Amino acid sequence: MPYTVKTFSQTSEAANALSSARRTHYMAGGTLIMRAMNEGDQSFDTVIRSTDPTLSQIKQSAARIEIGAGATMAQVMASSELAFLHSAAHAVGGPAIRNIASVGGNLFARCPYGDFTAALLVLDATVSVAGGYSGHDMPLEEFLAVRNREPHQLVSAISIARPATSDAFRFLKFSRVKPARKSVLSIAAHLPQSGGRVSGARIAYCGMAETPIRVPAVERSLEGKPLDEASIAQACAVACEGTSPSTDPIASDWYRREVAPVYLKRLLMGQTSRRA
Amino acid sequence: MTKSPLQFRHNGKDTAVFVEGGENLLSALRGETGDTTLKYGCGQGSCGACTVLIDGEIHLSCMTLAETCAGKSVETLDGLADGPNLHPLQTAFMENFSAQCGFCTSGMLMAAKALLDRNPSPTRDDVIEAIGGNVCRCTGYEPIINAILDAAGRRSDFIAQRR
C-alpha cells in the first residue's frame, strides 16, 4: 500500500503536521515505521519526517547532556562525551541497524526492544516533546507511561544527567544469541557511592514489563548500604518485585523472572556488557 | 498514487527511477533497476540479506526509505566484481566454501566490504561484530569468518591491480 511521505526542514513544522492529522506516524531512523510499512500496516497512511539538523545534535552542559532525538546509536558510539553509554548503544542491533536506529525512536520500541531506554531511565532522563504549537519537557518515566495513549508526539531531544563517576553507570544485556539479537532482558544501573555506601541508586530493566521500567524495590534495598555480598543478595531477593514480563518467542515470563536476579547479581558485582 | 522520480548513483552509475510513496530501497533496486543481487529476507531489519552500502556506510535496504537516497551513492553486490575479475571477498567466499544456499551471501559480502573498507586488517572479533546483523542458517558462520579474514590478506593486492 503506498503511503504519503511528508518531509519538513523544521521540527516544529513536522510536529504541527503530526498533531493535525490522525492517521500519521513520525519516522526518525525508520526501524519501527519501515517495518510497519513493509508489513502493509493500514493503521496509518501518512509518514512525517524532519531533516532538521538540530535533531541529531549532542549538547553538553556542566551537569547534563542533551541528545537530539534523531541522533543514531552509531553517533552515540562515536561520541567520546557519551563513552559511558557506548555499551548500551552497542546493545541495539547490528552495525547496519545502529546506523539508523535513533535515540528518540528507542523510546517507542516495544519490549524486548528498547534496551537503550533502560539506560536513559537510570540517568534521570527528561524528554523534550515538540507537540503542536507548544513544546514541553517531561520525565522519561512519565513519557513511557503515556506514550501509547498519545502517539502523535514528536520527541525532539532527551536530556540526561552525567553519571556521578565513570564506574557509577553499569549496563548488562542478556540475549541468547550474540552479538546482535533481541534481549531476554537488559539491566541498567546508576550506583553513586558516598563514603563507601550507595546513595541515590537507580535500577532499570528492559524486557520485564511492557515498557522499560525502574525497579524501586531493588533501589530501596541498596540505598545506604555498601555494595557487598549481603546487600546484593537482598537486592536480588526483590529483583522481580513490581515487574510484569511478557512471554514472546525469545523467552517466557517465567524464564525472565528466573534469570532477572541472576543478571542483576552479575551487574551489581561488576560484570557489564562490552563497550565497542 | 503517483510515483516520484528518484536520482542516485547505483554502483558508480547515475541512475533515475520512479518510486511509490513509502517504497523501500530494496524494492526500488530490485524492481526498478533490475539489481536482484540484494535479497528480500525478513523485511524487518533482522536478517541482513538486503545489506547495501549508502555513501560507504552499511545499511539495510529494506529499512531505508528509497526517497532518502536522492543524490547518494548506493553500492550493492552487483558492483563488487571488476568485470570478469572477482573481488577478493568473492574469491575468498568461494574458496572457503562460505556459501551453501547462498541467500545470505550478498548481505554478508557487503557487510564484509564495509568492514574491510574502514579496517583493512580486522581481528576475528572485528569480523564477528561486523556480520553481527547478518543471519546465515547454513554454514555455522565459521567459513564466512575465515573467508573475510582470508580476503583481508588478499585485498591490498586487488586494490593495487584496480589502480
What is chain A's pLDDT, residue by residue, as a tens digit (276 residues)?
Answer: 789 999 999 999 999 999 888 899 999 999 999 999 999 999 999 999 999 999 999 999 888 999 999 999 999 999 999 999 999 999 999 999 999 999 999 999 988 899 999 999 999 999 999 865 567 899 999 999 988 777 778 999 999 999 989 889 999 999 987 766 788 999 999 999 999 999 999 999 999 999 999 999 999 999 999 999 999 999 999 999 999 999 999 999 999 999 999 999 999 998 777 654
Are the beta carbons of A93 and B45 separated by less than 8 Å? yes
Is the same domain home to A150 and A211?
no
Range of the domain at A235: 169-268
Asked if residue A118 is part of any domain, the answer here is no
Which site among B18, B64, B65 would you substitute to test the A interface, given the most A Cβ atoms closer than 10 Å to its Cβ?
B65
Q: Residue B50 contacts by C-beta under 8 Å, 6 or more apart in sequence?
A: B26, B38, B39, B40, B41, B60, B61, B62, B107
pLDDT at site B1: 64
- pLDDT value of position A276: 43
**Tens digits of residue pLDDT in A181-230:** 788 999 999 999 999 999 999 999 999 999 999 999 999 999 999 999 99
End residue of a domain, out of B48, B79, B110: B79
CATH number at residue A242: 3.30.390.50
Is residue A10 a contact partner of residue A54, using CB atoms and an 8 Å limit?
no
Q: Which of residues 208-227 of A touch B (CB under 8 A)?
A: none
Same domain, A200 and A66: no
Is residue A223 domain-resident? Answer: yes
The CATH number that applies at residue B105 is 1.10.150.120
Q: What nine digits make up the cell of A253?
A: 515470563
The reply to whether A79 and A133 lie within a common domain is: yes
Residues of B in contact with A47 (CB under 8 A): 22, 65
Residues of chain B whose pLDDT is less than 50? none
Query: Using CA atoms, how far apart are residues B94 and B97, in angstroms rounded to an integer?
Result: 5
- Residue B24 sits in a domain of what CATH number? 3.10.20.30
State the pLDDT at residue A197.
Answer: 96
Asked if residue A179 and residue A152 are part of one domain, the reply reads no
Please tell me whether residues A206 and A244 are part of one structural domain. yes
Same domain membership, residue A190 and residue A154 = no
Q: Are residues A188 and A264 in the same domain?
A: yes
Which of B40, B58, B79 terminates a domain? The answer is: B79
Q: Does residue A255 lie within any of the structural domains?
A: yes
Residue B107: closest C-alpha in chain A? A96
ipTM over 0.95: no
Report the pLDDT value the prediction gives residue B137, as an integer from 0 to 100. Answer: 93
- The answer to whether A97 contacts B63, with C-beta atoms less than 8 Å apart, is yes
Residue ranges making up the domain that contains B36: 4-79
pLDDT of A138 reads 94
Same domain, B64 and B105: no
User: Amino acid identity, residue A226?
Assistant: P
Q: How many beta-carbon pairs below 8 A join chains A and B?
A: 83
Work out how many domains chain A is built from and give that number: 2
d(CA B21, CA B70): 14
Residues A190 and A65 both lie in one domain: no
Judging contacts by C-beta atoms under 8 Å, the chain A residues touching residue B57 are 99
Answer for the pair A233, A221: CB distance below 8 angstroms, yes or no. no
Q: Are residues B92 and B75 in the same domain?
A: no
**In this structure, are A92 and A36 located in the same domain?**
yes
Query: Residue A82: how many CB atoms within 10 A of its CB?
Result: 21
A2·B65 Cβ contact <8 A? no
- B29 and B46 part of one domain: yes
Asked if A132 and A242 sit in the same domain, the reply is no
CB-closest option in B21, B58, B63 to A30: B63
